[in-house]
Amino acid sequence: YGPDSVWVQEITSLTRRDTSQTLGSDTQAFGFVAGYEAMGDAGGALGLTLAYTSVEEHDTVAKVGEQATASFVQTGAYWRRSVGGWRVNAGGGLG
């Protein structure tokens, strides 16, 4: 593990709502989060992130082929450092 690192994480989700208590639907999500992190010489880290998620919902009582879809993109930056027993974090995002 060097001073710089790159990482990628998959995002997946499937939610099924039963028709016994609701109208019923299937919601699926897929995406990823990726980041780059640079470690400082005196400790701490500075990082950048990029995320993309696609969501699709099918209502079980809707007309054939009816669905709702959405896509999300988000970017972010963060800084973190531990000093003694203290940990300091700061970050922000857009999207």
3-class SS letters over 10-60: EEEEEEEECCCCCCCEEEEEEEEEEEEEEECCCCCEEEEEEEEEEEEEEEC
Mean pLDDT over 25-44 rounds to: 89
Of 84 and 3, more confident? 84
pLDDT at 2: 55
Cβ-based neighbour number of residue 33 at 10 Å: 16
pTM assigned to the model: 0.72
Q: Is the pLDDT of residue 32 over 90?
A: yes
